[in-house]
Amino acid sequence: MKATALLAVVLLAALSACTDTGDEPEPTATPSGLVWSDEFDGSGPVDEKSWNVATGNKEFDGWGNEELQYYTKDNLARDGAGHLAITAEHADPDAELPCWNGKNCAYTSGRITSEDKVSMQNGRAEVRMKVPAGVGLWPAFWMLGSGAEQWPNGGEIDVMEWVGNETRTVYGTVHGPGYFDDAGIQGEINLPADLSDDFHVFAVQKSPQRIQWQVDGKTFFEMTPDKLPEGKKWVFERPFYLLFNLAVGGPWPGNPTAATKFPATLLIDYARVYK
Protein backbone atom coordinates (compact mmCIF):
# COMPACT_ATOMS: atom_id res chain seq x y z
CA MET A 1 0.00 0.00 0.00
CA LYS A 2 1.40 3.37 -1.02
CA ALA A 3 1.36 6.04 1.71
CA THR A 4 1.93 9.79 1.60
CA ALA A 5 5.57 10.34 0.89
CA LEU A 6 7.48 11.38 3.98
CA LEU A 7 11.17 11.63 4.72
CA ALA A 8 12.54 8.08 5.07
CA VAL A 9 14.86 7.29 7.94
CA VAL A 10 17.54 5.40 6.02
CA LEU A 11 20.21 3.73 8.06
CA LEU A 12 23.50 3.27 6.24
CA ALA A 13 25.94 2.15 9.00
CA ALA A 14 27.35 -1.28 8.17
CA LEU A 15 27.85 -4.14 10.60
CA SER A 16 31.14 -5.96 10.90
CA ALA A 17 31.00 -9.23 8.98
CA CYS A 18 30.77 -12.48 10.92
CA THR A 19 33.78 -14.70 10.27
CA ASP A 20 31.96 -17.99 10.98
CA THR A 21 30.51 -19.37 7.72
CA GLY A 22 29.74 -22.89 8.93
CA ASP A 23 26.40 -24.65 8.84
CA GLU A 24 25.57 -23.50 12.39
CA PRO A 25 26.19 -19.73 12.60
CA GLU A 26 27.24 -18.48 16.00
CA PRO A 27 25.14 -15.90 17.88
CA THR A 28 26.03 -12.33 16.97
CA ALA A 29 26.34 -9.55 19.57
CA THR A 30 23.60 -6.94 19.70
CA PRO A 31 24.87 -3.52 18.56
CA SER A 32 24.49 -0.61 20.95
CA GLY A 33 23.62 2.16 18.48
CA LEU A 34 19.85 2.56 18.70
CA VAL A 35 18.73 4.91 15.92
CA TRP A 36 14.93 4.45 15.91
CA SER A 37 12.34 2.77 18.10
CA ASP A 38 8.66 2.59 18.82
CA GLU A 39 7.93 1.44 22.37
CA PHE A 40 4.14 1.65 21.77
CA ASP A 41 3.59 3.62 24.97
CA GLY A 42 0.26 5.31 25.51
CA SER A 43 -3.03 4.30 23.96
CA GLY A 44 -4.90 4.76 20.72
CA PRO A 45 -3.76 4.60 17.07
CA VAL A 46 -0.18 3.97 15.98
CA ASP A 47 2.18 6.90 15.41
CA GLU A 48 1.56 8.18 11.88
CA LYS A 49 5.13 9.50 11.71
CA SER A 50 6.37 5.90 11.67
CA TRP A 51 3.50 3.75 10.42
CA ASN A 52 0.95 3.36 7.66
CA VAL A 53 -2.18 1.28 8.31
CA ALA A 54 -3.18 -1.13 5.55
CA THR A 55 -6.82 -1.94 4.79
CA GLY A 56 -8.68 -4.31 2.49
CA ASN A 57 -8.42 -7.78 0.98
CA LYS A 58 -10.06 -8.23 -2.45
CA GLU A 59 -8.22 -5.31 -4.06
CA PHE A 60 -4.96 -7.00 -3.02
CA ASP A 61 -6.09 -10.47 -4.18
CA GLY A 62 -6.18 -11.90 -0.68
CA TRP A 63 -2.75 -10.34 -0.04
CA GLY A 64 -1.28 -12.91 -2.43
CA ASN A 65 -1.93 -15.82 -0.07
CA GLU A 66 -5.70 -16.46 -0.20
CA GLU A 67 -5.98 -14.92 3.26
CA LEU A 68 -9.42 -14.65 4.84
CA GLN A 69 -9.06 -11.47 6.90
CA TYR A 70 -10.02 -7.96 5.92
CA TYR A 71 -7.51 -5.50 7.36
CA THR A 72 -8.99 -2.48 9.11
CA LYS A 73 -7.66 0.42 11.18
CA ASP A 74 -9.94 -0.64 14.02
CA ASN A 75 -8.13 -3.93 14.62
CA LEU A 76 -4.92 -2.41 15.91
CA ALA A 77 -4.15 0.07 18.65
CA ARG A 78 -1.74 0.79 21.49
CA ASP A 79 -3.27 -0.90 24.52
CA GLY A 80 -2.18 1.53 27.26
CA ALA A 81 0.13 -1.09 28.77
CA GLY A 82 3.13 -0.55 26.49
CA HIS A 83 2.05 -2.80 23.61
CA LEU A 84 0.67 -2.57 20.12
CA ALA A 85 -2.27 -4.99 19.99
CA ILE A 86 -3.15 -6.40 16.56
CA THR A 87 -6.39 -8.33 16.96
CA ALA A 88 -8.00 -10.85 14.62
CA GLU A 89 -11.70 -11.48 15.21
CA HIS A 90 -14.88 -12.69 13.56
CA ALA A 91 -16.25 -10.08 11.17
CA ASP A 92 -19.75 -8.67 11.39
CA PRO A 93 -21.69 -10.92 8.98
CA ASP A 94 -23.59 -7.87 7.68
CA ALA A 95 -20.46 -5.83 6.96
CA GLU A 96 -19.31 -5.23 3.38
CA LEU A 97 -15.78 -6.64 3.55
CA PRO A 98 -15.04 -8.06 0.08
CA CYS A 99 -12.59 -10.98 0.02
CA TRP A 100 -10.52 -12.41 -2.83
CA ASN A 101 -12.91 -15.39 -3.15
CA GLY A 102 -15.97 -13.32 -4.04
CA LYS A 103 -17.43 -13.56 -0.54
CA ASN A 104 -17.31 -11.19 2.39
CA CYS A 105 -14.29 -11.81 4.59
CA ALA A 106 -15.13 -13.88 7.65
CA TYR A 107 -12.47 -12.17 9.79
CA THR A 108 -10.95 -8.77 10.39
CA SER A 109 -7.38 -8.06 11.52
CA GLY A 110 -4.57 -5.51 11.29
CA ARG A 111 -1.45 -4.74 9.28
CA ILE A 112 1.04 -1.83 9.48
CA THR A 113 4.01 -0.83 7.37
CA SER A 114 6.74 1.80 7.71
CA GLU A 115 7.05 2.34 3.95
CA ASP A 116 8.39 5.84 3.10
CA LYS A 117 8.83 6.55 6.82
CA VAL A 118 11.36 4.21 8.46
CA SER A 119 13.82 1.94 6.68
CA MET A 120 17.12 0.16 7.26
CA GLN A 121 19.87 -0.75 4.83
CA ASN A 122 22.44 -2.23 7.20
CA GLY A 123 22.01 -2.76 10.92
CA ARG A 124 19.69 -4.68 13.19
CA ALA A 125 15.88 -4.68 13.21
CA GLU A 126 14.46 -6.17 16.40
CA VAL A 127 11.00 -6.75 17.85
CA ARG A 128 9.73 -8.22 21.11
CA MET A 129 6.30 -9.76 20.79
CA LYS A 130 3.91 -12.50 21.87
CA VAL A 131 1.96 -14.47 19.27
CA PRO A 132 -1.59 -15.78 19.71
CA ALA A 133 -2.27 -19.54 19.73
CA GLY A 134 -4.61 -21.17 17.22
CA VAL A 135 -4.77 -23.06 13.94
CA GLY A 136 -5.17 -20.68 11.00
CA LEU A 137 -3.36 -17.75 12.65
CA TRP A 138 -0.29 -16.37 10.86
CA PRO A 139 1.58 -13.51 12.60
CA ALA A 140 4.64 -12.07 10.90
CA PHE A 141 7.38 -9.44 11.19
CA TRP A 142 8.95 -8.83 7.79
CA MET A 143 10.68 -6.30 5.53
CA LEU A 144 10.36 -5.22 1.89
CA GLY A 145 12.90 -3.47 -0.31
CA SER A 146 12.22 0.25 -0.73
CA GLY A 147 11.83 1.70 -4.19
CA ALA A 148 9.70 1.33 -7.29
CA GLU A 149 10.64 -2.24 -8.26
CA GLN A 150 7.75 -4.68 -8.36
CA TRP A 151 7.77 -7.61 -5.91
CA PRO A 152 9.79 -9.79 -5.70
CA ASN A 153 12.47 -7.88 -7.60
CA GLY A 154 13.07 -5.52 -4.67
CA GLY A 155 13.50 -8.41 -2.22
CA GLU A 156 11.61 -9.58 0.86
CA ILE A 157 13.08 -10.54 4.23
CA ASP A 158 10.72 -12.47 6.49
CA VAL A 159 12.29 -11.91 9.89
CA MET A 160 9.76 -14.04 11.72
CA GLU A 161 6.79 -16.11 10.60
CA TRP A 162 4.81 -18.54 12.70
CA VAL A 163 1.79 -20.66 11.84
CA GLY A 164 -0.61 -21.79 14.52
CA ASN A 165 -0.46 -25.49 13.68
CA GLU A 166 3.33 -25.57 14.26
CA THR A 167 3.44 -24.15 17.74
CA ARG A 168 7.19 -24.30 18.43
CA THR A 169 8.68 -23.46 15.01
CA VAL A 170 9.87 -20.04 13.84
CA TYR A 171 10.67 -19.47 10.16
CA GLY A 172 12.98 -16.94 8.50
CA THR A 173 12.89 -16.55 4.70
CA VAL A 174 14.16 -14.48 1.79
CA HIS A 175 12.32 -13.93 -1.48
CA GLY A 176 13.78 -12.38 -4.61
CA PRO A 177 13.68 -12.65 -8.40
CA GLY A 178 13.56 -16.35 -9.28
CA TYR A 179 13.31 -17.51 -5.65
CA PHE A 180 9.92 -16.49 -4.26
CA ASP A 181 6.68 -18.03 -3.00
CA ASP A 182 7.33 -21.76 -2.47
CA ALA A 183 10.87 -21.29 -3.85
CA GLY A 184 11.80 -18.78 -1.15
CA ILE A 185 14.96 -19.73 0.75
CA GLN A 186 14.08 -20.58 4.32
CA GLY A 187 15.56 -21.47 7.68
CA GLU A 188 13.80 -22.51 10.86
CA ILE A 189 14.32 -23.06 14.57
CA ASN A 190 12.35 -25.26 16.96
CA LEU A 191 11.89 -23.86 20.45
CA PRO A 192 11.50 -25.93 23.65
CA ALA A 193 8.03 -24.51 24.40
CA ASP A 194 5.04 -23.20 22.48
CA LEU A 195 5.83 -19.77 21.08
CA SER A 196 2.49 -18.40 22.30
CA ASP A 197 3.40 -19.04 25.95
CA ASP A 198 5.54 -15.92 26.36
CA PHE A 199 7.17 -12.91 24.71
CA HIS A 200 10.20 -13.55 22.48
CA VAL A 201 12.71 -11.29 20.73
CA PHE A 202 13.01 -11.71 16.96
CA ALA A 203 15.72 -9.94 14.99
CA VAL A 204 17.55 -9.74 11.71
CA GLN A 205 21.08 -8.41 11.36
CA LYS A 206 21.90 -7.13 7.91
CA SER A 207 25.37 -6.25 6.68
CA PRO A 208 26.84 -6.07 3.18
CA GLN A 209 26.41 -9.47 1.50
CA ARG A 210 25.06 -11.11 4.68
CA ILE A 211 21.72 -11.47 6.53
CA GLN A 212 21.36 -13.29 9.87
CA TRP A 213 18.18 -14.29 11.73
CA GLN A 214 17.88 -14.57 15.52
CA VAL A 215 15.37 -15.64 18.16
CA ASP A 216 16.13 -14.56 21.75
CA GLY A 217 19.72 -13.78 20.74
CA LYS A 218 20.41 -17.14 19.06
CA THR A 219 21.33 -17.05 15.37
CA PHE A 220 19.52 -19.82 13.51
CA PHE A 221 19.80 -18.90 9.82
CA GLU A 222 22.17 -16.99 7.58
CA MET A 223 22.05 -15.92 3.93
CA THR A 224 24.87 -14.78 1.66
CA PRO A 225 24.93 -14.43 -2.14
CA ASP A 226 26.73 -17.75 -2.62
CA LYS A 227 23.71 -19.58 -1.13
CA LEU A 228 21.37 -18.39 -3.88
CA PRO A 229 20.40 -20.77 -6.70
CA GLU A 230 22.84 -20.56 -9.59
CA GLY A 231 22.29 -17.50 -11.74
CA LYS A 232 19.91 -15.77 -9.32
CA LYS A 233 20.38 -12.15 -8.27
CA TRP A 234 21.14 -10.90 -4.74
CA VAL A 235 18.88 -7.84 -4.31
CA PHE A 236 19.38 -6.98 -0.64
CA GLU A 237 21.89 -4.11 -0.82
CA ARG A 238 19.19 -1.46 -0.41
CA PRO A 239 16.99 0.02 2.34
CA PHE A 240 14.17 -2.18 3.64
CA TYR A 241 11.07 -1.01 5.49
CA LEU A 242 9.18 -2.85 8.25
CA LEU A 243 5.83 -4.66 8.27
CA PHE A 244 3.74 -6.35 10.97
CA ASN A 245 0.52 -8.24 10.43
CA LEU A 246 -1.71 -10.97 11.80
CA ALA A 247 -3.15 -12.93 8.89
CA VAL A 248 -5.92 -15.53 9.10
CA GLY A 249 -6.13 -18.56 6.83
CA GLY A 250 -4.53 -19.49 3.54
CA PRO A 251 -2.81 -22.64 2.26
CA TRP A 252 0.21 -22.48 4.59
CA PRO A 253 -1.36 -21.89 8.03
CA GLY A 254 -4.61 -23.57 7.03
CA ASN A 255 -8.01 -22.14 7.88
CA PRO A 256 -9.22 -21.69 11.45
CA THR A 257 -11.03 -24.59 13.09
CA ALA A 258 -13.77 -24.66 15.69
CA ALA A 259 -11.01 -24.83 18.32
CA THR A 260 -9.37 -21.56 17.19
CA LYS A 261 -10.28 -18.89 19.71
CA PHE A 262 -11.24 -15.39 18.62
CA PRO A 263 -10.49 -12.62 19.31
CA ALA A 264 -6.81 -13.53 18.92
CA THR A 265 -4.23 -10.83 19.65
CA LEU A 266 -0.62 -10.33 18.58
CA LEU A 267 1.10 -8.18 21.23
CA ILE A 268 4.14 -6.15 20.13
CA ASP A 269 6.15 -4.75 23.02
CA TYR A 270 8.59 -2.73 20.93
CA ALA A 271 10.19 -2.36 17.50
CA ARG A 272 13.78 -1.08 17.30
CA VAL A 273 16.42 -0.41 14.68
CA TYR A 274 20.14 -0.30 15.52
CA LYS A 275 23.08 0.75 13.41
Task: Please tell me the distance from the alpha carbon of residue 111 to that of residue 88, in angstroms, as a whole number.
Answer: 10
List per-residue pLDDT tens for the chain, 275 residues long: 333 333 333 333 333 333 333 344 444 445 569 999 999 999 999 999 999 999 999 999 999 999 999 999 999 999 999 999 999 999 999 999 999 999 999 999 999 999 999 999 999 999 999 999 999 999 999 999 998 789 999 999 999 999 988 999 999 999 999 999 999 999 999 999 999 999 999 999 999 999 999 999 999 999 999 999 999 999 999 999 999 999 999 999 999 999 999 999 999 999 999 99
pLDDT at 23: 43
Q: DSSP code of 104?
A: B
Give the pLDDT confidence score for residue 60 in this predicted structure.
96
Which phi and psi (to 5°) does residue 252 adopt?
-75, -55
* Residue 271 bridge partners (DSSP): 38, 127
Q: Residue 144: what are its φ and ψ, rounded to 5°?
A: -125, 145
* pLDDT the model gives residue 142: 98
CATH number of the domain located at residue range(s) 40-274 in this protein = 2.60.120.200
- What is d(CA 167, CA 135) in angstroms, rounded to the nearest whole number? 9
Length of the chain in terms of residues written: 275
pLDDT for 168 equals 96
So what's the pLDDT on residue 2?
A: 32
Over the stretch 151-180, which tens digit does the pLDDT of each residue have?
999 999 999 999 988 999 999 999 999 999
What CA–CA distance (Å, rounded) separates 245 from 69? 11
Evaluate whether 246 touches 103 at the Cβ level (below 8 Å): no
Catalytic residues: 156, 161
pTM above 0.75, yes or no: yes
pLDDT of residue 31: 56
Question: Please, are residues 126 and 203 in contact by the beta-carbon 8 Å criterion?
Answer: yes
Residue 209: how many other CB atoms lie within 10 Å: 13
* Radius of gyration of the chain, Cα coordinates, nearest whole angstrom: 18
